[in-house]
Structure 1
Amino acid sequence: MKNIEIEEDLYHFIASKTQHIGESASDILRRLVMPDSLPAKIEQVAVQEKTQSSLNMQSSLLAELANLKLLEMPKMVDRFLAMLALLHQYHAGSFAAVLALSGRNRTYFAITKEALLATGSSTNPKQVPHSDYWVITNNNTVKKVTLVKEVAQLLGYSEVQIEQLIALFCPEPA
């Protein structure tokens, strides 16, 4: 493999043409400069299939959430846990990203109840159903809505899909 030096503006141009995380500069240039090359076409098909699969999964999750009838659950914490459980079910492989969510003085998700109790006196940790994850639940509705949005963003949902999730969770402005 050869190395070349390029100017900053060209580097930013190449980086702006990235189609998926982990795509190398060589892959990007090959796709842009040699569009008929076999590896580039295979890569494009793989990216398209992955994108379609992701969209199908997210649509399926939205349909399943609608069937859960979250709004019929009287307690916001039950809605919150049901939403997180379903997000975990559909994204078990990438759900660990939620462990990075934290505030100034609090951790919002952890693998153990004790880890959350150590971050504050009134966290009221509850286990996300059917998962190894725990979440603090002693937040107001606005914070729960914000956490659902942040989790959905981490899992790759579009803004439109996130708004659909929130409408199924808490349609009134919190």
Structure 2
Amino acid sequence: MKYIEVDEELYRHIASKTERIGESASDILRRLLGLSVDTVEQAQPQAISQPSLEAATPEPQFVPQVETFVAAADFHQLVDEHKLEQQKGAVGRFLFLLESLYQLNKTQFAQILQIQGRDRLYFARSREELLKASATANPKEIGQTGFWVTTNNNTAKKRAILAEALVQFGCDAEIANGIAERV
């Protein structure tokens, strides 16, 4: 991997072309330049023989597995249009939809903590945790769930975060994007 320096204006332009949370600058540039991500070969480290370590069995690594817990039909019922209209602004609608998602399955909602930006924490179990990660996070509690979310993102980013959360919980991407557009 090579590193290059870019000026602030170019960096902002590249960042503004982000289509999904966690998308790398390389992925964005490849997409914008029409290059395939599949053609990139990751450099493989050379195998180094270390006989003293070969006998040891490696410890299994824990890989969190996301469980899908909601039937697709339930996502259509996620949005109570009347209550959604009563919410104040994009932040209110964002919080309302996240709380509605929480209500679908409270026991699995902690999975939402896995949704993060490359250098950004979006969800946490406390206000302090979000403020520690970013002093300007403007954390808000999602209803009375005990989960907190950063709300200082622009509306497009809030929509992307909500859509990613919905997809993570098993919602079809098209339905998720439709729900997220209501923020």
Q: Which runs of 4+ in 1 moved over 4 A?
A: none
Q: Conserved in 2, the CA contact under 8 Å of 1:111 and 1:133?
A: yes
For 1:68, which of 75, 83, 93 is the aligned residue? Answer: 83
Equivalent-residue separation in structure 2 for 1:158 and 1:130 (angstroms): 27
Identical-residue share of aligned pairs (%): 29
CA offsets 1:71-112 (integer angstroms, 9 cap, x no match): x54411111111111111112122111101111222110001
Deviation of 1:127 after TM superposition, in Å, equals 0.3
Q: Does 1:165 align with 2:165?
A: no
Looking at both structures, which has the greater relative contact order when contacts are Cα pairs under 8 Å and sequence separation is at least 6? 2
Of 86-95 and 119-128, the range deviating more from structure 2: 86-95
Match of residue 56 from structure 1: 73
Equivalent-residue separation in structure 2 for 1:149 and 1:55 (angstroms): 14
Of 90-99 and 116-125, the range deviating more from structure 2: 90-99
CA offsets 1:122-171 (integer angstroms, 9 cap, x no match): 0010100020100010111111011111110111100231133124x14x
**Which runs of no fewer than 5 residues in structure 1 stay unpaired?**
1-20, 22-49
Equivalent-residue separation in structure 2 for 1:150 and 1:93 (angstroms): 19
**What secondary structure sits across from 1:103 in the alignment?**
coil
Q: Which amino acid aligns with 1:69?
A: L
Match of residue 118 from structure 1: 132
**Which runs of no fewer than 5 residues in structure 2 stay unpaired?**
1-64
For 1:150, which of 150, 158, 164 is the aligned residue? Answer: 164
Q: CA RMSD in A?
A: 2.4
Match of residue 18 from structure 1: none
**What secondary structure sits across from 1:80 in the alignment?**
helix
Q: How many residues align?
A: 118
Match of residue 105 from structure 2: 91
Q: Which amino acid aligns with 1:75?
A: G
Q: Conserved in 2, the CA contact under 8 Å of 1:91 and 1:155?
A: no
Equivalent-residue separation in structure 1 for 2:129 and 2:155 (angstroms): 23
TM-score by length of 1: 0.60
